[in-house]
A and B are shown apart, each in its own frame.
Chain A
Amino acid sequence: MSFLTSLFGRKTSAPIARDRLQILLAHERAGEGQSELIAKLQEEILEVIKRHISVDQDKVQIKMDRGAGVSMLEIDIEVPEAKPAAKAD
């Protein structure tokens, strides 16, 4: 089988399906609590940042990557440019 796959240079898809399912279901079984936690984290982190700088909602990008061992919540905030006056030397 591995000979055949290497011959045609195409990976079999079933193992990929199995791995994707295992990761997805591990998270889904962890239940509602976890997805609420992520939403809460996101909300509170933004709140703290807003206290110090004005954040444009359109300039906030939130990405989620759920892995087998670790999940990553990535919050990318574009901080507004400093005023031209401050730049003058």
Chain B
Amino acid sequence: MAKVLVVTSGKGGVGKTTSTAALGAALAQTGKNVVVVDFDVGLRNLDLVMGAERRVVFDLINVVQGDAKLAQALIRDKRVETLSILPASQTRDKDALTPEGVARVIEELREKFDWVICDSPAGIERGAQLAMYHADQAVVVTNPEVSSVRDSDRIIGMLDSTTERAKKGEKIDKHLLLTRYDPSRAARGEMLRTEDVLEILSIPLLGIIPESEEVLRASNLGMPVTLSNPTSAPSRAYFEAVRRLEGETLDVSVPTERKGLFDWLFKRSVA
């Protein structure tokens, strides 16, 4: 039974696309058939973060409008064979996405994959609504920062009211993914702690992704971080998050980078 997962946040720039790529790749790396779908029409970036930007021929809108077959638009990842990407359109108007068309594409994806992961655009408008509408589960990406937490609260409200499941009176599983977390700043009282965010948003914690240089390095390379450096702290956090998505119960910790003397010297010399 395929699962549709939306990665959403309300606020922009908190790590939705990075997390979509990392979670999608991590699931695929464990052998699952995964497609990541970019719903950010007009500002597509998932293809770029995944290193597939030069292979885009058709996109989600072409499929929604019947100009291309789904199989023509899907791009198979070159590194993980069970991972595919369905890019968004860069040029088209966001109104080109119709609810009926999206419903048809999601239905078709459900038949082909174990996991359909939808990367939502920022905001609470139409695009975000369409991205979450068919979801069975949601990952709410949040930074430990006031505006992000507030927007996540709004999004959680929408997940409980405007999705297909909510309208049918069913529950949608919501998970909190805390990103760009700095445990030492949180310990010093300079950053909201995990417990604070959990208490405020009161949804279960999927994982804590520590602030890490590896994330930028991965996007520079066009690779999900779980592929570019699978043993790095953020990758370990994403791999654990994926195990929780699959139903395992694990204690949540903040993975830390194992830094050597060389890293330390190098960091100082460029600073």
What residues of chain A have their CB less than 8 Å away from a CB belonging to chain B? 1, 5, 12-15, 17-18, 20-22, 24-25, 28-29
Contact = CB atoms under 8 A, between A and B. Distances in A.
Contacts of A20: 146
Given A21-B200, A25-B200, A14 B192 contact: yes
23 contacts: A1-B188, A1-B189, A5-B189, A13-B189, A13-B190, A14-B186, A14-B189, A14-B193, A14-B196, A15-B189, A17-B145, A17-B192, A17-B196, A18-B192, A18-B196, A21-B146, A21-B149, A25-B153, A25-B200, A28-B150, A28-B153, A28-B154, A29-B157
B70 interface: no
Interface residues of B, number: 17
Contact of B200 (A12, A15, A22): A22
Interface string B227-251: 0000000000000000000000000
Given A24-B150, A28-B153, A29-B157, A18 B189 contact: no
Contacts of B191: 14
B78 to A, nearest CB: 43
A5 B190 CA distance: 11
